[in-house]
Structure 1
Amino acid sequence: MDNREFQVVNDLVQKDDWSCIRLDTAVSGGIYHVLIYEIGQILLESVFSDLASELWLWNNPKYLASVCKGMQQVARGEVHHLGSFTQYVDIEVND
């Protein structure tokens, strides 16, 4: 993996008793994919940058599981056309 595009933020950090590495100010919230290169380099790839409108889903395992289940069903082709929903476009939704 080529390091030329990476910036060193913390040098020589160690995991704690719970196998956690403290990132301090290296990252500012959000949700990340954790990628590990074959020689041990770790990359945190930002998925959401503090999008509170979607963060609630990641913090609710019940609803996240439901969304994941739906995505798996779509991947298997288990879909049903329910028709057009355009009739609902003008309905006002209260947040």
Structure 2
Amino acid sequence: MMAAIMVQHGGFTMPLDTFIDAYRMVRVDRFAQPKLAGDARLMTVDTGGIVCNHCRANQVDLRDMLAFRLIDGQQELQPCFDCGTSLDEGELCENCTDDLEYGA
């Protein structure tokens, strides 16, 4: 049996999956990378449970991250359930909508 990865953040220690859910982070699909503005400020967590509170999207490789979320007040991320940038199951971002309309 594999031991659960524990995350330490803000004075609390919790299992990795609980941390991701508690902070309403978007899980990264390695095969469908989210489309983020390069200067978007993120909070990320990697496979080892290491949390980075303040980083820019162009400073991290999202393929190495398990989950991310925009830091409050940021509007660079367009919601989309198709490319993994939204928690809302009914919204598509402009790029994915265009892809569907033009068959790309």
TM-score (norm 1): 0.27
Q: Whose strand fraction is larger, Structure 1's or Structure 2's?
A: 2
Bigger-Rg structure (1/2):
1
* Bigger relative contact order, structure 1 or 2 (CA pairs below 8 A, ≥6 apart): 2
Query: In proportion to residue count, which structure has more helix?
Result: 1
TM-score (norm 2): 0.26
